[in-house]
A and B are shown apart, each in its own frame.
Chain A
Amino acid sequence: MVIGQIIANGILMGFIYALVAVGLTLTWGVMDIINFAHGEFLMIGMYTAFWMFTLFSVDPLAALPVCTAAVFVLGVLTYTGIIKRVLNAAGLTALLATFGLSMFLKNFAQYLWSPNYRYINNALVSGKTVRLGSVVIGMPQIAAAVGSIILTIVIMSFVDRTRTGKAIQATALNKNTALLMGINTNKMYAITFGLSGACVGAAGALMATFFPIYPASGALYSVIAFVIVALGGFGNIKGALFGGLIIGLTEALGGFFLGTQFKYAIVFLIYLVVIQVRPKGLFGW
């Protein structure tokens, strides 16, 4: 069945979108900052996986912890170096700082590594497929989806269960009250930004096996992630997960029924439709 194949592809893609969106929703929900450099963080994650593979022949899946850690550090540095200074500035200033950062990172990558498309061809999972009845699924996609599910659950339980996670939630609800309760909000913000980076770092490693890697490779995902986050409700991890799945499915089905050139138009259209029924996103309040 063609339709079964398409649904399977959509769901697998959806989980990856979800992981990217979970990272974005963290900073958005906790700090009320739209991170325009989120896609570039993803791109850095993908390049880290690529260079680990090319220089040290480490398989992207094995390099996942390295990519996660690298972008975690990048996130923390972004917070301490840039975001901290603009956190209390009026209106859209913080957003513009991240926009400048995104421009910088994208062109920095281009300067260092040229705009050429790069691929990881012979990774552990490359070229293998799994057959479920008439549905054929690539091993890279399965690995990426499984990895995304595990990481989303890890992040979700971290925020829900651990002391630090609770402190982050408290900071998100009310910064000043959290401060009065003895929470180091500054540290919480840094951790949130780091976690957000870690999500896309991991996503980058997972996606590197089946997506071309180039300086602008993250740009499209960041715009889609904006829509997913808004669709799920800002700061809501569960919302990002379901939003990701909805967008993944919409993209696959819409592309099949209306032509692939319209698949992104449909993705954005579905947001406009859903938001009419739930003006604050599916899980927003």
Chain B
Amino acid sequence: MVKNKKTLIILTAVLALLPLITQTKAVLNAFILLLIFATLGEAWNLITGFAGQTSFGHAAFFGIGAYTSAVIFYRCGVTPWLGMILGGIIASVIAAVMSYPCFRLKGHYFAIATLAVAEIIKQVFVSWSYVEGATGISIPIIHRSSGFGRRLFYLQFSDKLPWVYICLALFTAVIFLSSYLENSKMGYYLKAIRESHEVAEAIGINPTNYKLYAMIISAFISALCGSIYAQYILYIDPFMMFSLDISMKIVLLTVLGGIGNIYGPIIGAAIFIPLSEFTRIKLGGSGTGIDLMIYGLLIVLITCFRPKGVIGIAEKAAEKFRGKKTGGGGSIEAAS
């Protein structure tokens, strides 16, 4: 059951209309990245926001998705659409395999375990020659005179507009799924597990199973984002895809947007992605790192002076928008 269908439809419609206002490349680029990271945030939110299991390793799933579609296109010329699905399945399998032993761990021990898994996968990709190791893969470009059908089939476009709608379609599907899950039995089970593992177990919920389901769905979505990202930027390497920075970026925008709330990731992404793109465009390129320096400083300032600001404002706005007070979502306490 999707509870706030109307809000979601309006949100999607507004997002869909945004590209009509401006067609500037830089703006569309920021918008595409915003949608990709918002989707990643939704995925991360499932396991951390709802189920309360802090993951610092979502870059692993993101990277696996990117690599699967890129490798089978690069090596065998198979359409990235198939690679996307395959990447999702592989990421889900890895999530299931790693989760089983990791879910015994609590709080920070789990978080560090997910980080360790991502690092191991990175090291494997760095020294794996079939996937070009540390050199990375440049995705082969299809002929420039290809028609739209062929471009769609190989997921390479000459302008940015199709990307906006592909990313938006994925984001919409994922936010509807999140909303559905939040109000389903599983969503309530996950929240019960988040609030108290022991109590959830005592009332007959099997925490391991439900955390596993959440992790598998989350990994699948992250991998889809990875495939799209790889096709969009056309170059991937292990240091970029499996970096702790990607994992932390997901954590950052979801937590500051509103953790455990389905609108959190899009709000967070809407603040942080344009901010990072803007500082990068204005100040990057000199190679002095001043853009990231200022971005880092802004993160510190936002967390320091408005630790609950963005979340608080977002929730208040959402309440007003819906015209009633709802209890769902909310912020979670320290995940330990």
Taking Cβ atoms with an 8 Å cutoff, the residues of A that contact B are 28, 32, 34, 36, 81-82, 85-86, 89-97, 99-108, 110-111, 114-115, 215, 223, 226-227, 229-230, 234, 259, 261-262, 264-265, 268-269, 271-272, 275-276, 279-281
Total cross-chain contacts (CB, 8 A) = 157
Q: Which of B120, B256, B292 contacts A107 (CB 8 A)?
A: B292
Most buried by B among A34, A92, A108, A223: A92
B132 part of interface (Cβ distance < 8 Å): no
Q: Are B255 and A230 in contact (CB under 8 A)?
A: no
Q: Which residues of B contact A34 (CB under 8 A)?
A: 108, 111
Cβ–Cβ contact B292 & A268, under 8 A: no
Inter-chain contacts of B255 with A (CB < 8 A): 91-93, 96
| Known contacts A96-B252, A276-B104: A91-B335 contact under CB 8 Å | yes
The list of the 4 closest CB pairs from A to B, nearest first, reads A100-B299, A103-B296, A104-B296, A89-B307
Tell me the minimal C-beta distance from A59 to chain B in angstroms: 30
Which of B289, B297, B307 touches A93 (beta carbons < 8 Å)? B307
> Given A99-B252, A110-B289, A271-B116, A104 and B300 touching (CB < 8 A)?
yes
> Which of chain B's residues have a CB closer than 8 A to the CB of A104?
293, 296-297, 299-300
B119 within 8 A of A: yes
**With contacts A91-B335, A272-B117 known, is A97 near B304, CB below 8 A?**
yes
Docked CA distance A226–B19 (Å): 43
Q: Taking A99-B248, A275-B105 as contacts, is the C-beta distance between A215 and B297 under 8 angstroms?
A: no
Contacts A96-B299, A279-B105, A279-B109; is A108 near B120 (CB within 8 Å)?
Answer: no
Q: Are A265 and B298 in contact, CB atoms less than 8 angstroms apart?
A: no
Residue from A90, A227, A269, A276 in contact with B333 in the complex, judged by beta carbons closer than 8 Å = A90
Does the CB pair B109–A281 fall under 8 Å? yes
Contact partner of B308 (CB less than 8 A), chosen from A81, A90, A94, is A90
Interface residues of B (CB under 8 A from A): 54, 101-102, 104-106, 108-109, 111-113, 115-117, 119-120, 123-124, 126-127, 244, 248, 251-252, 255-256, 259, 287-293, 295-300, 302-305, 307-308, 311, 331-336
The secondary structure that dominates the A interface is helix
Q: B123 touching A86 by the CB < 8 A rule?
A: no
Given contacts A91-B335, A226-B115, A279-B109, contact A96 B123 (CB under 8 A): no
Residues of B within 8 A of A103 (CB): 292-293, 295-296, 299
The distance from the CB of B121 to the nearest CB of chain A, in whole angstroms, is 9
Q: In the complex where A91-B334, A92-B54, A262-B123 touch, is A85 in contact with B293 (Cβ < 8 A)?
A: no
B303 nearest CB neighbor, chain A only: A97
For the complex, what is the distance from the CA of A202 to the CA of B61, rounded to whole Å?
A: 37
Interface contact B295-A268, CB-CB below 8 Å: no
Q: What CA separation (Å) do A164 and B163 show in the bound complex?
A: 59
In the complex, are the beta carbons of B290 and A91 less than 8 A apart? Answer: no
Distance in angstroms between the alpha carbons of A223 and B295 in the assembled complex: 22
Distance, CA A85 to CA B116, complexed state (A): 30
Residue pairs across A and B with Cβ atoms less than 8 A apart, 8 shown, are: A100-B297, A100-B300, A103-B296, A104-B299, A223-B244, A226-B112, A226-B115, A261-B127
Residues of the A chain whose Cβ atoms lie less than 8 Å from the Cβ of B104: 276, 279
Nearest chain A CB to B124 CB, angstrom units: 6
Q: Which residues of A contact B334 (CB under 8 A)?
A: 32, 90-92
Specify the chain B residue showing the minimal Cβ separation from A95.
Answer: B251
By the criterion CB–CB under 8 Å, are A262 and B127 in contact? yes
Residues of B contacting A108 in the complex (Cβ-Cβ under 8 angstroms): 289, 293
Given contacts A91-B255, A99-B248, A111-B288, contact A264 B296 (CB under 8 A): no
CB of A99 within 8 A of CB of B299, answer: yes
> Which residue on chain A has the smallest CB distance to residue B121?
A265
Docked CA distance A133–B39 (Å):
60
Query: Cα distance A48–B236 when bound, in Å?
Result: 36
Closest Cβ of chain B to A279, distance in Å, is 5
Give CA–CA (A129, B332) in the complex, Å: 54
Shortest CB-to-CB span from A276 to chain B, Å, is 6
B119-A272 in contact (CB<8A): no
A275 with B113: CB separation less than 8 A = yes
Name the A residues within 8 Å of B298 (CB-CB). 100
CA distance A215 to B308 in the complex (A): 31
When distances are taken between beta carbons in the complex, the residues of chain B under 8 Å from A101 are: 296, 300
Contact of A111 with B290 in the complex, beta carbons under 8 Å: yes
A-chain residues with CB within 8 Å of residue B108 when the two chains form the complex: 28, 34, 230, 234
Residue of B nearest to A230 (CB): B112
Complex Cα distance, B109 from A91, in Å, reads 15
* Contact of A86 with B307 at beta-carbon distance under 8 Å, contacts A92-B255, A103-B299 already known: yes
Known: A107-B290, A115-B287, A265-B123. 18 other contacts (CB 8 A): A90-B308, A91-B259, A94-B303, A97-B303, A97-B304, A100-B303, A107-B293, A108-B293, A110-B288, A111-B290, A226-B115, A227-B112, A268-B123, A269-B116, A269-B120, A272-B102, A279-B109, A280-B106
In the assembled complex, the CB of B3 is this many whole angstroms from the nearest CB of chain A, namely 24
> Are A230 and B109 neighbours in the complex by a CB distance under 8 Å?
yes
Q: Which residue of A lies closest to B305 (CB)?
A: A85
B residues less than 8 Å from A94 (CB atoms): 303
Given contacts A89-B307, A110-B288, contact A280 B256 (CB under 8 A): no
What residue in chain A is nearest B133 (Cβ atoms)?
A261
Contacts of A215 in B (CB 8 A): 289
* Contact across chains for B119 and A223 when beta carbons are under 8 A apart: yes
Contact A261 B333 (CB under 8 A): no
- Assess the B300–A265 pair: CB atoms within 8 A: no
- Cβ of A82: which chain B residues have Cβ within 8 Å of it? 300, 303-304
